Chains A and B, each alone.
Chain A
Amino acid sequence: LRKNVEDFTGPRERSDLGFVTFDITADILNEKNGLQTFRNESTSIIFDWNVKQLFLYLSAEYSTKNNALNQVVLWDKIMLRGDNPRLSLKDMKSKYFFFDDGNGLKGNRNITLTLSWNVVPNAGILPLVTGSGHVSVPFPDTYETTKSY
């Protein structure tokens, strides 16, 4: 699981707005509870007979002066049983606005992006699984006024 990002912050009234561009390379088929399985083990562990779909989401987690913990979902995707389980997305823009509750993005060095998914069964328990691999994104110290997103 790999992600590469480039980013900058933009001024927006009272709250910081972050812009993140990212690549996602993921092989959902071979992930099990965040651990990568080796090739000689059986595949299709995630998409078994009782899995209807996976709801994938990329979330940014960080701390600010205002709030000890912040989580913002930047992007999501529904992966139905039968869809291609390999993701190879490049230069994606976040689907949702990355607003902070305050001004905690400026100069924040430690924003962690993680890919997780909600397993939706045909019937039964609804677990949330976090994929292995995460990327740390530092935001710059200044606001960007000229770049357009």
Chain B
Amino acid sequence: GWPRSGGIRGGAAMDLFGDLRRMNKRQLYYQVLNFAMIVSSALMIWKGLIVVTGSESPIVVVLSGSMEPAFHRGDLLFLTNFHDDPIRAGEIVVFKVEGRDIPIVHRVIKVHEKGNGNIKFLTKGDNNEVDDRGLYKEGQNWLEKKDVVGRARGFLPYVGMVTIIMNDYPKFKYALLAVMGAYVLLKRES
């Protein structure tokens, strides 16, 4: 451990400030580097997932109830998007409508594939009365491979609720980040 500059303090709050005062520059740099390493590792894992699954967004959160009772708002989906995977009726795909950012999770109900591999398909949410043509772009009747973010291969319930809460209540997000930052910066390996 680093040399300490004396004094007996009472109470956890006093200890916290005491820690801050006792940390010298070297210690601070060390903590910041530690923190940076954690962030880099997390980013690397995410990028690795993108490469391995072939999908630009390998983990998505279900945002609506249009696939109930299979998936509910807040469920987490794991996607793959291998180039050679054909699109077939019954599969659950996550797609983005051209010009919109929000990924939609629905099921493929019609597929028409030409000999050269050109595919067009239609989707519909299990819980919706009608197919998705109303959601597509003006004049667009079919989806193509390029609209697909990935195919749902696995799922975990409820876990994604955290991101929905963070989106709807940004104060919660900042509070969470502040707490995490404080913890990492102040935690010490002795």
Contacts and interface: CB of A to CB of B under 8 A. Distances in A.
B15 interface: no
Contacts of B89: 57, 59, 61, 71-73
Contacts of B126: 55, 76, 78
Interface string A106-117: 000000000010
A9 to B, nearest CB: 17
A125 B69 contact: no
A126 B115 contact: no
Given A124-B154, A126-B152, A126-B155, A53 B109 contact: no
Given A52-B70, A57-B90, A118-B90, A72 B110 contact: yes
B114 interface: yes
A59 B110 CA distance: 9
A118 B113 contact: no
B69 A78 contact: yes
A57 to B, nearest CB: 5
A92 interface: no
Given A55-B70, A101-B112, A120-B70, A71 B88 contact: yes
Contacts of B91: 128
Q: Is the interface of A mostly helix, strand, loop or mixed?
A: strand
A138 interface: no
Contact of B114 (A67, A72, A73, A122): A67
Contacts of A61: 89
B110 A125 contact: no
Interface in B108-135: 109-115, 120, 126, 131
Contacts of B155: 120-121, 123-124, 126
B110 A71 contact: yes
Nearest to B109: A73
A128 to B, nearest CB: 6
23 contacts: A53-B70, A55-B107, A57-B90, A57-B109, A59-B90, A68-B113, A68-B114, A70-B111, A70-B113, A71-B89, A71-B110, A73-B109, A76-B126, A78-B70, A80-B69, A121-B155, A123-B156, A123-B157, A124-B154, A124-B155, A128-B88, A128-B90, A128-B91
Given A67-B114, A71-B89, A120-B155, 12 more contacts: A52-B70, A55-B70, A55-B126, A71-B88, A96-B131, A101-B112, A101-B120, A121-B155, A122-B157, A123-B155, A125-B154, A128-B88
Interface of B: 69-71, 88-92, 107, 109-115, 120, 126, 131, 152-157
